Structure 1
Amino acid sequence: MTDGVLVHLTDPAAWRAALDTGALRPPSLAGEGFVHLSTPEQVHLPAGRLFPGRRDLVLLVVDPARLTGPVRWAPGVPGDPPGVRFPHLHGPLQTSAVVAVVPYRPPAEPVLPRPDDALGRARALWLSVRTRRAAEVRDVPGGVAVLDPRFPHSWDDNRLVLSHPVDAGTVAASVAAVAADAGWPHLAATLAWSGADDVARELTGHGWRAEELVVMARPATPPLPGRRAEAVDQREVHDLWERSWRRDLPTSEADLDEVVAQLIGREHRNDRVVAVTDLAVREEGRVVSAGQLRVDGATAAFESMNTDPAARGRGHGDAVLGAALDLALERGCDLVVLEADATDWPRHWYARRGFAVVGTTWEVSAQAGATTESSR
């Protein structure tokens, strides 16, 4: 468990609503005058009382130093261990005080990052979003499998998401078992623990494709100079996405139209679990550059940066990123994170704009016994 943080257990829908208002106000605040918090070691007690048997909840990881209301400790209820005392927040729980949102799936031990752990917070956001938006979640060694049969071509929505160390054989066997049962046309897993390099490289020796992603982070301040992109309805970006997917997917893709339709159609689900804003630059009324900011408490992720090749070199990327950083600061975020291919040029572009590498994750995949040609 993580020292120095408090936690609050809630329904994901209540948390998503709080992201729009800036604060979580559970019924206890109006009825009793406070929000129930716990230490990480205590949370199983209220979980058992209030949510028996539920495994679809989230733990809000709270930095006490960011709370604006007083925290007072009070005894528990009859049946709690003797002498146990719980922290009560006398005021709403601001979303800016929540440094991570972690799925609560007992008896699995949740990974709770410290407020100063940029890598831990980044991994928590990406793993949590995948879990919270999934149509189905299954336990596997080292983490979970996320499934969504509506989007079988989306490897991001049908894969293993592993946050605890397991060996390469376990990864391969677990993915194969889930894929066979679910009818996946591919094998895919995210390896998000320190030291996963050896497992990823061992899998490449068995025909898997392994992609190393650097995790990069920076504060929302200072702002980038220059003009800013505009916030747009996500549907206005679909044409840019479609052009990109059609350009980048293998030309041998027989069902390209269906693949592209699924990859675009899946995107709206992110806003059901985190606050999503699409930012874009137009030329002659057409969106030629866009990126996306996903806010989950005090942590924001910058995603899906894309500029038409013919429109590059005109500062559009800076305009989109600058707008995203502005918005993150406005939403109360102190940390903005992203992932970049460890072998490609964008990581250096982001480094020149204040992002520092804080760690890595690995994406491993295979299809029909052969290495894959693209990552989805």
Structure 2
Amino acid sequence: MTVLVHLVEPAAWRAALDTGALRPPSLAHQGFVHLSTPEQVHLPAGRLFPGRRDLVLLVVDPARLPDPVRWAPGVPGDPPDVRFPHLHGPLPTSAVVAVVPYRPPAAPLLPRPDDALARALALHRSVRVRRAAEVRDVPGGVAVLDPHFRYSRDDNRLVLTEPVDACTVAATAAAVAADAGWPHLAATLAWSGADDVARELTGRGWRAEQLVVMARPATPPPPGRRAEAVDQREVHDLWERSWRRDLSAWEADLDEVVAQLVGREHRNDRVVAVTDLAVREGGRVVSAGQLRVDGATAAFESLITDPAARGRGHGDAVLAAALDLAADAGRGLVVLEADATDWPRHWYARRGFVPVGATWEVSAQAGATIESSR
């Protein structure tokens, strides 16, 4: 299925998520939005943004566009036989099936509109790259870094989308960790057939966790109780309680670790539209989850229910509110990741989510792994 693309600065895209459409200056001045085919985008990129590697490509499904697309010649200097697509109307955010970091000369991975796995992987990778304080090219992908949240493995890790072997993963992670001062090594292995690499790293002393990628259409669930949208700060206490229960391995630095894990969360809303949803008991938040919207794809994240409040339907209320929001906004797909070995994946399956693929998250303590891989 053919897609079109539009190159844009991340801040302009984030603003469009709030208004529902992208309206670049060309729409007012020329009456259309400049689009490109994937094969053409290097021409406007080189002309308008020479040397830039902090932009994003909006992957547009032409079938979702309400206004006509007409093809016309480029500007002087473009090949004379090349025709560019022009959208004669604003670009709806609901027509954008993926938002992909544009980091030439690496070829961007552009999901098809009908490929739920590719759209899910693109969203998770894109958020990590776009919110990172620093991004480095490494074999197989990139390293994302944020020294303000050094204990957050989600923000200081390798994100690998092309096949590399276990030795390369271990050596690259060790080198970046040593330079950046990470207290851990971590990598996402997001290519088909990464199982053998994950198993080999386990033999080297790494921890490996397979995550099932699940998806469902953004349609509202049956009538029932719904959670409420809340200011994210109201969820902090629930997060702190949950992370303190789960992080006994970090006991010596527990206060700092939890503070960083809570403190990092506000940055997601800088790059995608975030809504925190919660259920209260006695005025206290006891269950919460998060919907992250990035065009026509939305991710459901961080569903937590206080142990003392489980079994009362709070998780269903949070998920239902997220699906309602996604459906109302015209999002076509809701995705999530669930531990392949734990019960939540079956809970989500009973609520319409279907497995579409898997990734691996691998991690280790930095010092021990550096020694073992010399």
What is the TM-score with the length of structure 1 in the denominator? 0.97
How far is 1:250 from its partner?
1.4
Deviations along 1:272-299, whole A, 9 cap, x unmatched?
A: 0000000000000000000000000000
The equivalent of 1:374 in structure 2 is none
1:10 matched to which residue of 2? 8
Q: Decide which moves more: 41-50 or 163-172.
A: 163-172
Aligned ranges for residues 133-172 of structure 1 at < 5 Å?
A: 133-172=131-170
2:53–2:104 contact (8 Å) kept in structure 1? yes
Secondary structure at 1:239 match in 2: helix
- The one-letter code matched in structure 2 to 1:288 is V
Identity percentage over the alignment? Answer: 88
Shift in Å, 1:368: 3.9
- 2:355 aligns to what SS in structure 1? strand
Residue 201 of structure 2 corresponds to 203
Could you give the per-residue CA deviations for residues 81-121 of structure 1, whole angstroms, max 9, x where no partner exists?
23000000000000000000000000001110000000000
Deviates more, 1:86-95 or 1:330-339: 330-339
Matches within 5 A, 1:53-68: 53-68=51-66
Report the counterpart of residue 285 of structure 2 in structure 1: 287
Which residue among 304, 314, 321 is the counterpart of 1:316?
A: 314
Give how far 1:171 is off. 1.0
Query: Following the alignment from structure 1 to structure 2, what is the Cα–Cα distance between the partners of residues 222 and 324?
Result: 9
How far apart, CA to CA, are the structure 2 residues paired with 1:162 and 1:104? 16
Distance 2:99 2:328 in 1: 19
Cα deviation for residue 205 of structure 1 reads: 1.0
Structure 2 distance, partners of 1:199, 1:36, is 42
Does the CA-based 8 Å contact 1:207-1:369 persist in structure 2?
Answer: no
Question: 1:24-63 alignment to 2 at 5 Å?
Answer: 24-63=22-61
1:353 equivalent to 2:355? Answer no
Instruction: State which of 98, 101, 109 in structure 1 corresponds to 2:107.
Output: 109
Match of 1:75 among 67, 73, 76: 73
Runs of 4+ in 1 over 3 A off after TM superposition: 368-371
Cα 1:338/1:226, change in 2 over 3 Å: same
CA contact (8 A) 1:208 1:370 kept: no
Matched, 1:250 2:248: yes
The alignment status of 1:119 with 2:117, answered yes or no, reads yes
5+ residue gaps, structure 2: 370-374
Scaled by the length of structure 2, what TM-score is found? 0.97
Alignment of 1:218-367 (within 5 A): 218-250=216-248, 253-367=251-365
Q: How much is the aligned-residue C-alpha RMSD, in angstroms?
A: 1.0
In structure 1, give the amino acid aligned to 2:340: A
Does the 8 Å CA contact 2:140/2:161 hold for their aligned counterparts? yes
Matches of 2:171 and 2:330, distance apart in 1: 42
* Whole-angstrom CA distance in 2 between matches of 1:369 and 1:191: 21
